[in-house]
Amino acid sequence: MDGVPSNGKRGRRAVRPDPADGPVAEFAHRLWELKDAAGDPSYDRMRDELGAAASRSALSAAARGRELPSWETTWEFVRCLAVSRLGDNEAVVRADWRARWSAAREAAARAPEPGSASASVSVPEPESVPEVEPASAAAPAALDRRRLVTVAVVVVVVLIVAAGVAFFAFDGKEQPAAPPPAEVYPVPGDASEFVRDVSVPDGTGVRRGQQFVKVWELRNTGSVRWVDRYLQRVGGSETTADCRTPARVPVPTTEPGRTVQVAVPVDPQGAGTCKVYWKMVDAAGKQTLPTARGVYFLVTVAA
């Protein structure tokens, strides 16, 4: 029994799903995060006090992570917490969670059935150095050497570029202190590809206060499974208007070779242009694809 019973005593604590168990479990994990942010009300309170138009059992099942809930149940779960309890904008919340639910449904439809032959996937091989055959499972030493070579190449390239920048930037005058570089965490075999703008194409005109949700579609082109990844807003934005966004948004778990849609709610303020860049990071905020080009949205904001 979950939540707080009608007598006010808390019952047995629900077991929360592990987001690494698949797209449905990860989606339920995000519902739990929202529930925690709203003060972790019981399912009875969600219905009686916050107005969720879904049964207690349906709300509880949605957070269990065994089956993807219907959009109607998902929306009632989210609406009563994000809109009624936290006071977030209903249109932005609905668009954001609809995109998350659709991405989870698409990922779940592609996921192999438990126990099937395709479900027992071996650990992915890391990205090979050009002209070198991939290592076999019988050659772990060669695999480790390739990983070290890949990381070493990245480090050498970064040092060479940094040295070149320092040489050409120095003109005999004292230079201002450079900001510390973003912490990166290159993962051998990790790669991504921008597929398309799902919503709000670049150059779209919006009005001040006209909130919208930007959605990108990305493809995991590497051999590494994306788990607990996020898109994080980074510096270098070219903007004369104030486009307010979360600092980072979650990337649904994505298998190698699959595509995923990532949504960012945006609240434009002021007049001008907003071009805001985003890079993929892990749960600790470290960039996982430091050499890959980030994504961005570009809108023109009218007063």
Question: Which band of pLDDT confidence, cut at 50, 70 and 90, is reported for residue 290?
Answer: confident
Say which residue, 52 or 164, is predicted with more confidence: 52
Rounded CA-CA distance 275/66 in Å is 39
Residue 227 has pLDDT above 50, yes or no: yes
Question: Which band of pLDDT confidence, cut at 50, 70 and 90, is reported for residue 144?
Answer: low
Q: Which of 18-22, 159-163, 239-243, 249-253 has the lowest mean pLDDT?
A: 159-163
Residue 289 has pLDDT above 50, yes or no: yes
Residue 108 has pLDDT above 80, yes or no: yes
Closest to 219 (Cα-Cα) out of 187, 251, 249 = 251
Closest to 206 (Cα-Cα) out of 274, 276, 265, 296 = 274
Share of the chain above pLDDT 90, in %: 44
Residue 177 has pLDDT above 50, yes or no: no
Q: Which of 47-61, 118-132, 136-150, 223-237 has the lowest mean pLDDT?
A: 118-132
Say which residue, 110 or 224, is predicted with more confidence: 224
Residue 197 has pLDDT above 60, yes or no: yes
Residue 78 has pLDDT above 70, yes or no: yes
Mean pLDDT, residues 274-284 taken together: 90
Closest to 181 (Cα-Cα) out of 197, 168, 162 = 162
Residue 231 has pLDDT above 70, yes or no: yes
Residue 2's CB: how many other CB atoms inside 10 A?
A: 19
Share of the chain above pLDDT 70, in %: 69
Say which residue, 150 or 42, is predicted with more confidence: 42
Rounded CA-CA distance 85/97 in Å is 16
3-state helix, strand, coil in the chain (%, to 5): 35, 20, 45
Using the structure block, give the residue that is written with the tokens 């499974």: 225
Mean pLDDT, residues 183-191 taken together: 72
Mean pLDDT, all residues of the chain: 76
CB 200 within 8 A of CB 298: no
Question: Which band of pLDDT confidence, cut at 50, 70 and 90, is reported for residue 263?
Answer: very high
Predicted pLDDT of residue 23: 92
